[in-house]
A and B are shown apart, each in its own frame.
Chain A
Amino acid sequence: MTTSLWGMDINVWANAAIRLQIIVLVMTVVVMGLIWAERRILGRFQQRIGPQKTGPFGLLQSVADAVKLVGKEDLRPKNADPWTFELAPFLVFIPIFMGFVVVPFIAGWNISVLELGLLYFVAISSVNIVGWVMAGWGSDNRYAMIGGLRAAAQSISYELPLVLSLVSVAMFAGTMNLDEMVRQQAAVPYIVWQPMAFAIFFIAALAELNRAPFDIPVGESEVVGGPFVEYSGIRWSMFMLAEYAGLFIMAIIGASVFLGGYIWPFGEELGRGWQLMLISAKAGLIIFVVFWIRASLPRLRIDQLMGYSWKVLLPLVLLQVLVNGLILVNGWSEVILGVTGLAGVVALVTITGRAANRPRSILARPAAVKVEAA
């Protein structure tokens, strides 16, 4: 059985192996670049310089870090569960990389065009939570266990708004093929018609990726790194690799589904180089905002996090799906969709602001445990 790779006929398995090899190599480089970029950008936000000594502008900092991490001893706590502990990094790392199969970087450059690409992405990207819980439980560390359980709760809560925000676009597009969705945005990107879905997608993606302000599972000041606390060397670096690869894939998906991906909205189709630059710019913008948020927002508390998902994001995104359905059934204009979406964004901002500024009498929770009088 043969398939085509760059115009050549080639064995199916060899083809798959070559494509996978490309993903892993490209992703490793991209992740290193992202880590460097984050450190430089955070440095700027914090009035410092960031890495600068290794190579020009510190570009080789990630390489130096990788070499250091590979050289470190691979420790396993004595009481840790051997299998769970050692398998966990792979279970975090592999699903993220599997997601890359469907990502439409530029026209004709995806590894594979799946008819249900969006569904595949959504399904595969949530598998890694198993790895988090395994890491948390298998480390035999209490911080790690709390972190792992927090990760599970968070991932389950934010999976729904994330999926539904993508569903509302898929309804509108009438397809789950990511490549097809990108091409449909030749005139107007979907963010114009579905601004609230994008806002919710962005928030839920932050939570899915455990990035600030939703970095509760790894909260440095509380659980000291959460599930990773006992990991060292190459296993730890796998978690980091997965984290930044996840950020990258989420940014590309966001750029493709909402911002029009590699499509230039004005005029002719672009050449490959320009397409690559366009998608990089769009994804880069999303990634920059993620870094920006990390530099300026405190962490939410676990109950606030859950409440925000179930009480704010989920109802709003369900409403969005309902409005989409109404418009599709009745054949109304897309403009209504855009207007309702904007109203939704306003509602989201208002509700968030009001939730934060509630009077203290509501906020103050009675102590769950009685304290003896002083």
Chain B
Amino acid sequence: MVTERAREFDTQDLLINVGPQHPSTHGVFRMVLEVDGELVKDVIPYIGYLHRGAEKLCETMDYRQGIGFMDRTEYLAAFNAELSYVMAVEELAGLEVPERAQWIRMILCELNRLSSHFMFLGAFGVDTGVMGTPFIYGWREREMLIDLFEEISGDRMMYAYFRPGGLAWDVTRNFKERVREVIKSSAQGIKDFDGLFTENEIFVARTKGIGYISAEDAIDYGMSGPSIRASGVPLDVRRDEPYLKYSEVDFQVVTGQHGDVFDRYACRLQEMRESIKIIEQCLDKMADTGPIMPEKMPRMLRTPPGEVYMRTEAPRGEYGIYLVSNGGNRPYRLKVRSACLSNLQALKQMSVGLYVADAILVLGSIDIVLSEVDR
């Protein structure tokens, strides 16, 4: 029975609105935290602030025009997003991509993984509370990569460089030297982050043991990418369903053991080293000259009726394109399977029971890109 006195001291939980304008929601994401003192009792995420209807818009345009929309769904790893889309179209149209174009695609996708993870490291570092330093470190390395992308595709973020069948145009003549140069600086950047974070007592104390999710739960939520690999599930589309030339290169699928925030960070850092290894192998195996488009390309790309689901391993996880065609030059239906959206579902389970500051770290450790969540 509740006495009068007990009722007098009855406390009310506080609702804190984190976002859509908040420094650490990584875009226009909003979550309402129900807190008891400093402890999070409930998390209610709200998404949809960045919905632009990219999928529907693609249905009104021909296949080539859709590439630009794919760039904009996943602006931190646009090459990876384009790749899923063009591969889906190629699968439908039955196009054979020349070998050299495949190597170049692979190199660019892995470089994009590096740039995306650098962005994660920087933003996550700011979430943990370092004033700007990791952000600038990450930005510095990403800048090198983006400069390279600009040289090749002519754009810094929205490349539209992969085309159904191959590439828009050939890479620059000094491509190999430039890539070697850039991955050298990236390797140094990874080392810098290792020094800044991995053995930093406060960073370790803040990130270890929080935001835990078990392997079973991670699978149930449909998580993918580094977020699920940190829980010990060796799920990697590059190895499980090799596309491009991934079956010809040697790399490890990095997994964690604890499924906490630190492991998600460490997995990404290690994965970047693997990416550099992949790029080096690609550079060795790639021919210096050769076609980058099939010889006979139709002037207007038309696909036979049918449907296809094509998935690739983007930096944040499985980025899938479900494409339905009923003949003609535009998709009948396009659906993007977004890795971030699935990963975000686990947010509540990971952050309930933690402190407010930790909930922010958990959100940061999933590494969401809101334009991919909302599309």
Binding site for B on A (CB under 8 A): 42, 45-48, 142-143, 146, 150, 212-213, 215-216, 219-224, 294-304, 352-353, 355-357, 360, 362-369, 371, 374
Contact = CB atoms under 8 A, between A and B. Distances in A.
For chain B, give the interface size range. Answer: 35 or more
B206 A300 contact: yes
Contacts, number: 133
Contact of B130 (A48, A143, A295, A365): A295
Nearest to B16: A142
Contact of A299 (B22, B128, B258): B128
26 contacts: A46-B136, A47-B137, A146-B356, A150-B38, A212-B131, A219-B129, A222-B356, A294-B131, A295-B130, A296-B130, A297-B130, A298-B125, A298-B129, A299-B202, A301-B355, A301-B357, A302-B357, A303-B355, A353-B201, A357-B204, A360-B258, A363-B208, A363-B210, A365-B209, A365-B353, A369-B39
A149 B178 CA distance: 53
A221 B200 contact: no
B209 A352 contact: no
B133 A46 contact: yes
B357 A222 contact: yes
B256 to A, nearest CB: 11
B244 interface: no
Shortest Cβ-Cβ A-B pairs, 8 listed? A299-B129, A367-B353, A363-B209, A356-B201, A298-B128, A221-B24, A356-B205, A46-B136
Interface in B12-40: 14-17, 22-24, 35, 38-39
Contacts of B326: none
A260 B38 CA distance: 42
B358 interface: yes
A47 B140 contact: yes
Nearest to A357: B204
A351 to B, nearest CB: 11
* B-side interface mostly: mixed
A225 to B, nearest CB: 9
Contacts of A362: 209
Given A221-B24, A360-B258, A362-B209, 18 more contacts: A47-B137, A48-B136, A142-B17, A143-B16, A212-B130, A222-B24, A222-B360, A296-B196, A297-B200, A298-B202, A360-B209, A360-B260, A363-B208, A365-B209, A368-B353, A369-B41, A369-B353, A374-B220
A300 B16 CA distance: 21
A301 B209 CA distance: 13
B24 A374 contact: no
Interface in B200-227: 200-206, 208-210, 212, 217, 220-221
A357 B132 CA distance: 25
A310 B95 CA distance: 68
Contacts of B356: 146, 222-223
Residue picked from A46, A142, A143, A366, most chain B C-beta under 10 Å: A46
A86 B214 CA distance: 50
B352 interface: yes
A362 B35 CA distance: 24
B128 to A, nearest CB: 4
Given A222-B360, A363-B209, A371-B348, A46 B202 contact: no
B349 interface: yes
Contacts of A371: 348-349, 352-353
A363 B212 CA distance: 11
Nearest to A301: B357
A39 to B, nearest CB: 11
A364 B354 CA distance: 10
Given A222-B360, A356-B201, A302 B133 contact: no
B83 interface: no
Contacts of B357: 216, 219, 222, 299, 301-302
A220 B132 CA distance: 11
Contacts of B86: none
Nearest to A297: B202
Contacts of B140: 47
B126 A221 contact: yes
A215 B202 CA distance: 13
A221 B360 contact: yes
Nearest to A303: B355
Contacts of B128: 221, 298-299
A108 B336 CA distance: 75
A42 B132 contact: yes
B127 interface: yes
Contacts of B353: 365-369, 371
Contact of A302 (B22, B38, B217): B38
